[in-house]
Amino acid sequence: MNQRVLKFFWIALVLSPVHVWATELSLPFVIAFGSCNDQDREQPLWKPLTRMAPDLFVFLGDNVYADTDDETEMRAVYARQNQVPGYKSFKQAVQIEGIWDDHDFGVNDGDSAFGGREMAQQVMLDFFGEPATSSRRTQHGIFDARYFEVAGRKKTTRVQLLLLDTRYFKSPWKGSSSFTRRYDPEESTDKTMLGEAQWEWLERELSKPADLRVIASGLQVLNGYHGYEHWALFPHERERLFQLFRNTRANGVILLSGDRHFAEISRRDDILDYTLFDFTSSGMTHSFEHGDQSLNPDRIAIYTGLNFGTMTINAEHVVLRIHNRRGRAVETVRIRMEDLQLPEYSL
């Protein structure tokens, strides 16, 4: 794909007060993504990713492991990642976007109490080459949006990428006394996942027209059945997210998430007027090879080896694939574009 076009679009977006659609892109449009990438471990996935040449790559958090509030130490971690040969080649060829999770935020299972969050934000933005004029440089939190207008033979597909920050504003979790859980769901509705400023931004973004909305969250949204971090630990916040999708009549939502050290695709048919998918891609350098034992009745695909994910967008379909360390697709879910739309919305 045309990296020059993507870079031109990205600069235009940063400098513009309103959203700008990237043009000169064509179907199929391929987004690759992954998470949990330790800078000090072997990184075998960059070779097949470079060979695949996606149009865009999205880091879904734990892009490096930099659990520190010391800026010098954190910058040294990112510097080591930038020297990984396979990654150096990949980033020269493919536009990279991303969010963070806890270990690149600076502290395990971190939240708004972390004193180094402002420093960590600037260091991460330096890693992504964010311009000094970007709103991400001056706002609190790393949330942002990207827009792609992709031409097909008969019509143009508008793809909106929403990058959520599930760390900067997040309230602390409620600890659990159970041996099988680290955290328990929070009864208090005072706790927040995104913070009010980010909620207001998200409502504005979801109100904008788009055919497909790819929403990146460091934490899983649909899988709330395990005892670790996920959106369902704040039930009122997860329901607020679902209600926001409903209230804004946001069609075409697909969720991306990381964190879990295995890959899975979950689906729910009872939340929106169309099927909602959450594609978790996790474990670029280390994964739970023996599998995840937690119950997830919404799971339709799982893979426990090193992995990355891809989303291939065509005029009629969206194809989700889990890829192994050699780049081979080990799980494939094919979705009709019309099955991601509200009943009154016609493509």
DSSP string, 192-224: -SS-HHHHHHHHHHHTS--SEEEEEESS-SS--
Largest Cα–Cα separation, the chain: 57
Report pLDDT for 180. 87
Q: What per-residue confidence (pLDDT) applies to 144?
A: 98
CATH code, 3-340: 3.60.21.70
- Is residue 23 within 8 A of residue 159, CB to CB? The reply is no
What pLDDT sits at residue 89? 96
Q: What is the pLDDT of residue 9?
A: 45
8-state DSSP, 124:
H
The string of DSSP codes covering 86-109 is HHHHHHHHS-EEEE--HHHHTSTT
User: What was the pLDDT predicted at 4?
Assistant: 38
Residue 97 near residue 54 (C-beta atoms within 8 A) = no
Please choose, from the candidates 105, 244, 210, the residue with its C-alpha nearest in 3D space to the C-alpha of residue 167.
105
Query: 21-35, 73-87, 163-177, 194-208: lowest mean pLDDT where?
Result: 21-35
Give the pLDDT score at 346.
Answer: 57
Q: pLDDT tier at 16 (50, 70, 90 boundaries)?
A: very low
Residue recorded with tokens 């697709």: 329
Domain extent listing, the chain: 3-340
For residue 310, what are the β-bridge partners? 32, 321
Rounded-to-integer distance, Cα 330 and Cα 256, Å: 18
Nearest-angstrom CA–CA distance, 286 and 269: 32
Rounded Cα–Cα distance for residues 244 and 72 (Å): 40
- In tens, the pLDDT along 36-80 reads 999 999 999 999 999 999 999 999 999 999 999 999 999 999 999
pTM for the model stands at 0.94
Question: How do 329-336 and 317-323 pair as beta strands?
Answer: antiparallel
Q: What is the mean pLDDT of residues 215-233?
A: 97
Contact 297, 22 (CB under 8 A): no
- Measured between alpha carbons, how far is 116 from 113 in angstroms, rounded to an integer? 9
Q: How confident is the model over 280-339, as pLDDT tens digits?
A: 999 999 998 876 667 899 999 999 999 999 999 999 999 999 999 999 999 999 999 999
Q: Give the pLDDT confidence of 125-169 residue by residue, as tens digits.
A: 999 999 999 999 999 999 999 999 999 888 899 999 999 999 999
The 10s digit of each residue's pLDDT in 245-275 is: 999 999 999 999 999 999 999 999 999 999 9
